[in-house]
Amino acid sequence: MRKKVVVRQYMQYRAEDLKSLTEQRADLVQQMKDLTSTAETEKRAFSEEEDQKFDNLDKQVKALDSTIEKLERARDLKLNVTSTEKHEELKQEELEERAFAAYIRGEVLQERADVNLTAGDNGAVIPTSIAQKIIKKVYDICPIYQLANRYNVGGTLSIPYYDEDTQTIEMAYATEFQELESTSGKFGSIELKGFLAGALSKVSKSLINNSQFDIVSFVVTAMAGAISKWIEKELLNGTADKVAGLSTVKKTVTAAAAAVITADELIDVQEAIPDVYQAGAIWIMNKATRTAIRKLKDNDGNYILNKDATARWGYTLFGKDVYTSGNMPEMAAGKTAIYYGDMSGLAVKLSEDVSIEVLREKFATQHAIGVVGWIEIDSKVENAQKIARLVMKASA
Q: Which pLDDT tens digit goes with each residue over 218-273?
A: 888 888 888 889 999 999 999 999 999 999 999 999 999 999 999 999 999 999 99
Map residue 213 onto helix, strand or coil.
Answer: coil
What are the DSSP calls for 158-176, one per residue? EEEEEE-SS---------T
Q: Closest Cα partner for 236 from 158, 289, 186?
A: 289
C-alpha 252/C-alpha 269 separation (Å) is 8
Say what the pLDDT of residue 116 is: 53
C-alpha 313/C-alpha 87 separation (Å) is 36
Say what the pLDDT of residue 102 is: 75
- The residue ranking higher by pLDDT, 372 or 167, is 372
Task: Tell how strand 305-307 and strand 315-317 pair up.
Answer: antiparallel
Compute how many other C-beta atoms are within 10 angstroms of the C-beta atom of residue 16: 9
Say what the pLDDT of residue 20 is: 77
Q: What percent of the chain has pLDDT over 90?
A: 33
- The residue ranking higher by pLDDT, 201 or 73, is 201
182: amino acid identity, one letter: S
Say what the pLDDT of residue 119 is: 53
* pLDDT surpassing 80 at residue 157: no
Say what the pLDDT of residue 223 is: 83
pTM: 0.67
Map residue 324 onto helix, strand or coil.
Answer: strand
C-alpha 322/C-alpha 315 separation (Å) is 6
Helices 215-237 & 48-104, crossing angle to 10 degrees? 100
- The residue ranking higher by pLDDT, 317 or 194, is 317
Q: Closest Cα partner for 95 from 130, 141, 143?
A: 130
| Residue 308 contacts residue 281 (beta carbons within 8 Å) | no
* pLDDT surpassing 70 at residue 2: no
C-alpha 239/C-alpha 246 separation (Å) is 10
Give the angle 238-244-249 at the CA atoms, nearest 5°.
Answer: 95
Say what the pLDDT of residue 113 is: 45
* pLDDT surpassing 60 at residue 124: no
Mean pLDDT value across residues 115-124: 52
What are the DSSP calls for 84-148, one per residue? HHHHHHHHHHHHHHHHHHHHHTTPPP--BTTB--EE-SSSEEPPHHHHHHHHHHHHHH-HHHHHS
| Residue 270 contacts residue 340 (beta carbons within 8 Å) | yes
DSSP state of 382: S
The CA-to-CA distance between both ends of the chain, in Å, stands at: 78
| Residue 160 contacts residue 188 (beta carbons within 8 Å) | yes
| Residue 147 contacts residue 386 (beta carbons within 8 Å) | no
| Residue 277 contacts residue 342 (beta carbons within 8 Å) | yes
Mean pLDDT value across residues 57-83: 72
Domain 120-396, what fold? Major capsid protein gp5 fold (3.30.2400)
The beta strands (E) that lie in the chain are given as 118-119, 124-125, 149-151, 157-163, 186-192, 195-204, 251-254, 282-285, 305-307, 315-317, 320-324, 336-341, 346-350, 355-359, 368-381, 387-391
What is the C-alpha radius of gyration for the chain, rounded to an integer number of angstroms?
A: 32
Burial of 189 (0-12, 13-18, 19+ CB in 10 A): exposed
C-alpha 266/C-alpha 354 separation (Å) is 39
What value does the mean pLDDT of the chain take? Answer: 80
235: amino acid identity, one letter: L
Give the angle 201-325-235 at the CA atoms, nearest 5°.
Answer: 75
